[in-house]
Amino acid sequence: MADKVLMVPPNLAGRRHAVFQITPNRNCNIRCDHCFISNRHKAITSHMSLGLYKRSLDVCMEFSKRIPSMEEADIVLMGGELALLPDDLQEGMYRHTVDRVIEHLAETAGSGRPQREVSCAIISNMINVGRDKLDVFVRAFDYYRARLDEERHRLGGLSFDLTIDTSWEPDTGRFYKPHVYEQWLDNVRYMLARGVAVGLALTGTRGVVTMDVKERLDFFVRDLGVVPMYDHFAEYGEGRANGAHLKFSYDEMVRFLIAFGEYAERLAEERGEVVASPFFRAGRTMEQLHSRLLAILCVDWDGAIAMDSESSAETQHTRKDSVHGRDVLCVTEDADDGLVDAIVEQAQRRLVRESRALATSACADCRHLPYCQGGFVHYVGRFDGPGQCAGFKQVFDHFCPEHP
Ligand code: SF4
């Protein structure tokens, strides 16, 4: 019987991107106010075995081959805090990821599938971690660079980017003491000085949305040398429980996105490459910013699978007391390929639900729909005042006046 593949409804045909997130552990060494993992779940100290990690990545790569229109895949490794895992487990996971992705791309190069890139982000808060722990990430990056040089000839021009990412927000308690911010800066500089590509996640809390965009991007891009990536703030976990002070107004967000987009464009012109994202010029869709992807596959520390990143972080404490307990798909070390068929079915149901919802919403008549894809999926219904929407359409009116 032929493998099941994901069929994309016509009104979502513009999408090209999928995200594969693996969370080997939930425990963390800090307690940010906006975190989508509840502090109750951060108490879990159990973590994934290397065997389960390898099988989870296999399942992600096999599933990615069942998405015929996918061009770009993001692999995201995140906790909790990964640096809390044993060093040998981390080394095993990162090296295996590099080797597995290279084999996947080498196989894809001859397959006729449209996939052209894999981006892999290994995420750490880089707070209260010693140099020995940072060196685990440095060695992972060095291994990636060396292997890519060895194997580039087999990739047929397909690209594989690996970064070690961290985060910054001024209002979430991340930098709970002034010296913690200085220590974080030192750690980021330590990584950069060793040639590591460092990405910087800016999550859309009020503190980020009302920051001085030029001053902050100048500091992050020109002075520090990281690549800032803005993400909307999805209020789950701690963010739902105690995020009131993190909320922004609709107009604050519109002003921020326009200022961010304009300055990111100026930096790109200056540098000849995109150095801050999102990038609002017409063409590509906003599927990443809006979590409106072909598919999102998340594998939790115990192998439990979910088809959304933020919302799933609240539910999957353990399979036993999960509200979805009985119908949660799970990766196990000996999981067979039947699991990938089951994942395709779940992803298909999710896409069909989304397609129907969009076809019957105000978005259906919006000139920005093929580009916007329906706004940030977690803001639908939140901004419903006159002229408001989950995509902040005024931003697209500003950057994409040519949309018919
Ligand atoms: S801009 Fe707003 S109305 Fe238009 S598609 Fe996006 S979310 Fe929907």
- 363 pocket-lining for ligand 1 (C-beta < 6 Å): yes
Rounded to the nearest whole angstrom, what is the distance from the C-alpha of residue 70 to the centroid of ligand 1? 23
Q: pLDDT for 37-69, tens place per residue?
A: 988 889 889 999 999 999 999 999 999 999 999
Note whether residue 258 is domain-resident. Answer: no
Tell me what the mean pLDDT of segment 184-196 comes to.
98
Q: How many domains is the chain partitioned into structurally?
A: 1
- 24 pocket-lining for ligand 1 (C-beta < 6 Å): no
136 or 156, higher pLDDT: 136
Note whether residue 326 is domain-resident. Answer: yes
Residue 114: the pLDDT is 87
Q: Which range, of 30-39, 278-287, 355-364, averages the lowest pLDDT?
A: 278-287
Residue 87: the pLDDT is 98
Q: Is the pLDDT of residue 141 over 50?
A: yes
Q: Is the pLDDT of residue 153 over 90?
A: yes
Greatest pairwise CA separation for the chain in angstroms: 60
Percent of the chain's residues with pLDDT above 70:
96
- 362 pocket-lining for ligand 1 (C-beta < 6 Å): yes
Note whether residue 318 is domain-resident. Answer: yes
Residue 122: the pLDDT is 98
- 79 pocket-lining for ligand 1 (C-beta < 6 Å): no
- 390 pocket-lining for ligand 1 (C-beta < 6 Å): yes
Tell me what the mean pLDDT of segment 336-361 comes to.
93
Q: pLDDT for 83-140, tens place per residue?
A: 999 999 999 999 999 999 999 999 999 898 989 999 999 999 999 999 999 999 999 9
| Atom number of ligand 1 nearest to Cα 362 | 3
Residue whose entry in the numeric block shows the structure tokens 């909790």: 80
Beta strands per DSSP E along 300-344: 305-306
Q: Is the pLDDT of residue 317 over 60?
A: no
Using CA positions, which residue lies closest to atom 3 of ligand 1? 363
Beta strands per DSSP E along 23-182: 72-77, 117-123, 159-167
pLDDT band at 355 (very low <50, low <70, confident <90, very high): very high
Whichever domain contains 333, its CATH number is 3.20.20
Q: Is the pLDDT of residue 320 over 80?
A: no
How far from the centroid of its chain's Cα atoms is residue 181's Cα?
23
Q: Which amino acid is at 87?
A: D
Q: How far apart are CA 60 and CA 385, in angstroms?
A: 39
Note whether residue 343 is domain-resident. Answer: yes
- 206 pocket-lining for ligand 1 (C-beta < 6 Å): no
Q: Which range, of 66-75, 193-202, 269-278, averages the lowest pLDDT?
A: 269-278
Q: pLDDT for 251-268, tens place per residue?
A: 999 999 999 999 999 998
Q: Which amino acid is at 34?
A: H
Tell me what the mean pLDDT of segment 349-365 comes to.
94
Note whether residue 371 is domain-resident. Answer: no
Note whether residue 317 is domain-resident. Answer: yes
In angstroms, what is the C-alpha Rg of the chain?
Answer: 20
| Atom number of ligand 1 nearest to Cα 393 | 1
Order across the sheet with 17-22: list the strands.
227-231, 198-203, 159-167, 117-123, 72-77, 17-22, 295-299, 305-306
Q: How far apart are CA 18 and CA 75, in angstroms?
A: 9
Mean pLDDT of the chain: 92
- 375 pocket-lining for ligand 1 (C-beta < 6 Å): yes
Domain containing residue 221: 12-248+294-359
Residue 282: the pLDDT is 66
Q: pLDDT for 277-300, tens place per residue?
A: 887 876 778 999 999 999 999 999
Cα angle 384, 386, 391 (rounded to 5 degrees) comes to 55
Beta strands per DSSP E along 16-137: 17-22, 72-77, 117-123
Q: Are 267 and 275 in contact (CB under 8 A)?
A: yes
Residue whose entry in the numeric block shows the structure tokens 């106010």: 33
Residue 163: beta bridge partners? 121
Note whether residue 288 is domain-resident. Answer: no
